[in-house]
Amino acid sequence: MMNILKNRIIKGVVARHIGQEPFKEIEVAGLELRSLIKKKFGRSLFIREVDTGSCGACESEIISANNPIYDLQRFGISFTASPRHADALLVTGPVSKNMLTALKKTYAAMPEPKFVITCGDCALDGGIFKGSYYVEGAVKDILPVELHIAGCPPSPLHIVKSLSAFLKR
């Protein structure tokens, strides 16, 4: 207990206050996304996420999109552990040789209708890993990609806005 108190005195306040402005933009984008998902699917959109060899930055942003600030689940997006329950496959990173078979099996296990979303520049064309001896290539060369969310890494708000723009089509 004394160590905690000592550290608190030495370091001071390390948390920062987040104003209401970002929440308004998130709320507007999220409510639009929720109505599009409800109209298109009649229920929540279930996503199976697969990391095929990324650095982890896109996964961090996807995890952030599920934190209490963004909370994708309240907008009708749920992540599922089983591809058999998924409507969409979200792929991050370039496809490494070790993950090629797992990616194909995950996609094959998904029920129809299904679609693939790539997240981050590495999934688009290999990013900084492009040309590596261990990379099979971009996801679009292996699976039919319907949506690409650009960025290195894309922010949670950008992920929400990209999904909304896709579902409007």
pLDDT digits (tens, 9 = 90+) for 84-121: 999 999 999 999 999 999 999 999 999 999 999 999 99
Tell me the pLDDT band of 12, cut-offs 50, 70 and 90: confident
On whether residue 155 sits in a domain, the answer given is yes
CATH of the domain at 89: 3.40.50.12280
Q: Strand 145-149 and strand 77-79: pairing? A: unpaired
Q: Does residue 18 surpass a pLDDT of 90?
A: no
**Has residue 165 got a pLDDT over 90?**
yes
Residues 6+ apart with CB under 8 A from 97: 134, 135, 136
In a domain, 8, yes or no: no
In-domain check, residue 3: no
Q: In this structure, is residue 5 part of a structural domain?
A: no
pTM: 0.85
**Domain for residue 18, yes or no?**
no
12 in any annotated domain = no
* Total domains present in the chain: 1
DSSP code per residue over the chain: -HHHHHHHHHH--------SHHHHHHHHHHHHHHHHHHHHHSSPEEEEEEESS--SHHHHHHHHHTSTTT-GGGGTEEE-S-GGG-SEEEEES-EETTTHHHHHHHHHHSPSS-EEEEESHHHHH-GGGTT-TTEEE-GGGTS-EEEEE-SSSPPHHHHHHHHHHHHH-
In this prediction, residue 148 has a pLDDT band, given cuts at 50, 70 and 90, of: very high
Tell me the C-alpha to C-alpha distance, in Å, between residue 148 and each of 19, 51, 74. Answer: 30, 15, 23
pLDDT at 14 > cutoff 80 = no
Q: For 54-95, what is each residue's pLDDT tens digit?
A: 899 999 999 999 988 888 999 999 999 999 999 999 999 999
Which residues span the domain enclosing 99? 24-168
Q: Residue 15 domain-assigned?
A: no
Task: Evaluate whether residue 151 is within a structural domain.
Answer: yes
